Amino acid sequence: MYLWLKALHLFFLVSWFAGLFYLPRIFVNLAMAAQPDERARLLLMAQKLFKFMTPWGVGALLCGLAMPLVSGAWAGWLHGKITLGVLLAGYHIWCGRLLRGFAAGTNRRSHRWFRIFNELPVFILMAAVYLAVFKPF
């Protein structure tokens, strides 16, 4: 059972991260969009992507939490990974709020801000991989 959860966790993570990497990139383009038709197309893409990636995030979090429950192993590094998962869930929710701002026409952030925002999940992923591979504590 544990290996099935691990395989599903990895599958969901890869799928979720594809969305977490691409959605903020769409936000960069939305912040720069000058034409109404371009903005409408990008907004539709972003909305569809957010709806598509949300179940993958839920699956990643559920399988990630189920693995230590099944195995009974609660090492210190695992607490760090769970914390990173919570941060990613928060980032995902933040993306949803930003998306609603674009839909309402209330975004005030620049494309430069979104370029920096786009990099945040990269650092969380690096930290999670480090914890999972090296199990430092």
pLDDT digits (tens, 9 = 90+) for 86-132: 999 999 999 999 999 999 999 999 999 999 999 999 999 999 999 99
- The whole model's pTM is what? 0.96
Annotated binding-site residue? 81? yes
Looking at the structure of the chain, the number of domains it has is 1
Annotated binding-site residue? 51? no
Which residue type is seen at 64?
G
Domain that holds residue 39: 2-134
